[in-house]
Each structure stands twice: as C-alpha cells, then as structure tokens.
Amino acid sequence: MSGHSKWATIKRKKAVTDQKRGKIFTKLIKEIMVAARAGGGDEDANPRLRQAVMAARGANMPQDNIKRAIKKGTGELPGQNFEEATYEGYGPAGVAIIMEVLTDNKKRTVAEIRHLMTKYGGNLGENGSVAWMFDRKGIISLKKDSGDEDSLFEAALEAGAEDFNSDEEEFYIVTTGPTDLMSVRDSLEAQNCTVESSDLEMIPKNLTKVEGSAIETLMTLMELLEDHDDIKSVFSNFDIDEDLISQD
C-alpha cells in the first residue's frame, strides 16, 4: 500500500470513534480564509478556494459558515490573518514527517511542534531536510460503486490522471499532477463518478518500515500532530502492517 493511503486509511478507520467536528471545521475555515485572501472570493477563478469549499461541504459544514469564512478572507468581514508554513523532521524509527501549517503565531506553533516531536522520539529539522523524499500530487478517492474498474481506469486516464489503483477496500485512488486535481475531478464527476475526497498530498518516493514498540509511539505522534489546531496536513513515509495497529 502506498504511503499516502496508509495514513489516510488509518485515519478513516479511526474516524468512526474519533470524530472531532469542531476541530475539523476550524481547520477548514482557516484554509478557506487563506485561500480567499490569496486568490479572491470567486470559487470559479480561485481553484484553491474551490477545493477548500468542496472539502468543507464534504464535512457537512453549514453554508453560512463557508460564506462567512470567505468574507473574512477577502476582508469583507473582520477576521484573523493566518500565515502558511511547512515544517519537516524525523519521527520514531527515522520516518520522515512533513507538516503543513496555518497559524497566527509561528513562534508558538513551531515550539509546540518541536515539543511533540522530541517527546515522541523525533526531531524537527530544517526546511528541505525531508521534502526531497516526497512528490506533491493530487489524490482523488472514488467510491467503488461509481462503476467497474476498467471503465473508471479509462475515464481517469482520459481526464488527465497520472495513475489509478485500488489501494483500499472501498475506494479507487486516482493520482494527478498538482495543477490537474480539480480538472480531473470535474471530468470524473461529469461522468457520474462518486468522489469521496480530493486533495493535494505529499507522496513518499520510498517507504520506511516501522516495527515493534515504535509503531505505537509513531501512531501517537501522528495523531497528536493531526489533532493540533494549527496543523492543516501531516504526511509521512512510514510503512506499517495495519493489523498491528490498535483501533481503540
């Protein structure tokens, strides 16, 4: 199983008992505000905003919340200014970890991340220390009831996808170039495919095997980083046998 879907699959399975809708909404609102500030409030002219709004709708965020977040981003309503940052480092067993952040206080955020990394057997590195181990790609999850595999594979490639595979029990995974994510998604939806999610991810070029007691330590660290208010996304190159992971 590829690295991006390993963590995505683990999160999906645990989400049944770990749903924290308030935190999810907070992170989505930040992304909408930053996207609107950077590229304007028109979804059709701002692909990043459109992607953020679709993610918010996928999480069942009320439309009024989305509209307010856009207006805060464009300055029509008062709101905080969030900065973007990316932090990199190594976790237990030497796995590479990348964290994409939206924060109103970089000093506070980096101090908290450094504390977590150190506490759980890792360390925060310099920019570029692990980024070279990853490629940025668009990832689209299609529900398998969208159609038969051969037809979906052909549709994805005709839409401009780079890869198509069946990584998970319920989904097909479509990989695109980073700038092709929304156009491929639009094409697939136009053919009545059911898109579960779409996002830009950092895909590891190679995986690092994690075994023994390091598994629990790493999973605890990943969950704490994922749960941090200022961290938008967490990516890693770990390879773990999912049967060894507690779902509690």
Complete domains list, the chain, with CATH: 134-204 (3.30.70.980)
Query: Per-residue pLDDT for 17 more than 50?
Result: no
Matching residue, tokens 């773990």? 240
Picking from 189, 191, 152, the residue whose alpha carbon sits closest to that of residue 174 is: 152
More confident site: 2 or 140: 140
**pLDDT band of 6, cuts 50, 70, 90:** low
**pLDDT band of 59, cuts 50, 70, 90:** confident
Q: State the pLDDT at residue 22.
A: 66
In this structure, what token pair is assigned to residue 134? 């990853």
Query: Per-residue pLDDT for 205 more than 70?
Result: yes
Q: What average pLDDT does this structure show over 26-43? A: 94
**pLDDT band of 16, cuts 50, 70, 90:** very low
Q: State the pLDDT at residue 14.
A: 58
pTM across the whole model: 0.88
What is the C-alpha to C-alpha distance for residues 79 and 124, in angstroms, rounded to an integer? 30
Write down the mean pLDDT value for the chain.
88
